[in-house]
Amino acid sequence: MKLLLLLLFLYAVTAKRVELDWNLQYKNVNADGLFERRVISINNEWPPLPVELNVNDILVIHLQNNLNEVTVIHAHGINQNNGTNHMDGAGMVTQCPIPANHNFTYEFPVTQAGTFWIHSHYKVQYMDGLRVPLVVRDIHEPFHWDEDQIISLSDWYHQDSYTNLEQYMNHDNIEGVEPIPQSGLINDHVNSTISFKPNKTYRLRFLNMAGIATFNVYLDGHDMQVIEVDGIPTQPTRTGLIYLAAGQRVSVLVKTKSTTDLNYILHANMNPAMFDYIPDGLKLSK
């Protein structure tokens, strides 16, 4: 009994309540440098800031929907098995969507460590930019690294998600051809730079937040050691390339070189097999 009380006390001491105020509103951005379009921003910021927690924290998101459409958000990969299934955010499944100009508060404990993401779960709305990396750290993780980096991958459309969905579901689209993106993004940009220090071990947290695209990822001149897949720790496995389907997350450890005289390219290449055709101008490699 004393041990149980001690464990409960330690849980209460280590866990904290993380409260976020999210105001959803539209914003125009030109993420790929080719076309400006409307996205869904959080507090007028896009891309939105990642959410970073420690295991056993309680996440509270006060969501104000200032869009002209309904919305919900879902913590992808987080188990809502603590009596919080109504906080799962699956529209018309576990929750009625939040109407325009209304608000809702999400609150649930986060008991899993790893790499996750939060995104809209209403139709294909997250492809309009309502998606955020979620990282949950645990001081007792079995692996060691000096620093970590969040690296999001996504496909990018110049049309809004509802236009793409309407074209896809149209009765004239008898072959079910899916919409093809105009660009691929790393950390929501086309020319991202990731800084490394020499003789350091980095944990790279890759998230595929795309709607359709899958990515082949490799780093010139470096091997990668996989230590997590979809929020689950793995036996360390060395590889030169990782493959991420939409929604997947993979963490790898990378040991940097001892010198800084060279730059190395991080490749995140969209797999053409996922597309019905390759339009002119689409760059599959990054």
Residues 167 and 270 in one domain: yes
Cα maximum dimension of the chain: 68
Q: Is residue 91 part of a domain?
A: yes
Q: How many CB atoms lie within 10 A of CB 132?
A: 24
Looking at 140, 167, 198, which one is the last position of a domain? 140
Residue 105's pLDDT band, with cuts at 50, 70 and 90, is: very high
CATH number for the domain that contains residue 239? 2.60.40.420
Rounded mean pLDDT, 197-207: 97
Strand partners, 137: 54
Note down the domain range covering 179. 149-274
Residues 63 and 33 in one domain: yes
pLDDT in tens, 236-273: 999 999 999 999 999 999 999 998 888 999 999 999 99
- Is the pTM value of this prediction over 0.75? yes
| Residue count of the chain | 286
Q: Which residues of 199-231 are buried (b: 16+ CB within 10 A; e: fewer)?
A: eeebbbbbbbbbbbbbbebbbeebebbbbbbbb
Query: 């990969």: which residue's tokens?
Result: 77
Residues 7 and 38 in one domain: yes
Residues 154 and 134 in one domain: no
pLDDT of residue 7: 46
Looking at 114, 140, 166, which one is the last position of a domain? 140
Residues 12 and 136 in one domain: yes
Query: 């692996």: which residue's tokens?
Result: 143
What does the H/E/C string look like for 133-161?
A: EEEEECCCCCCCCCEEEEEEEEEECCCCH
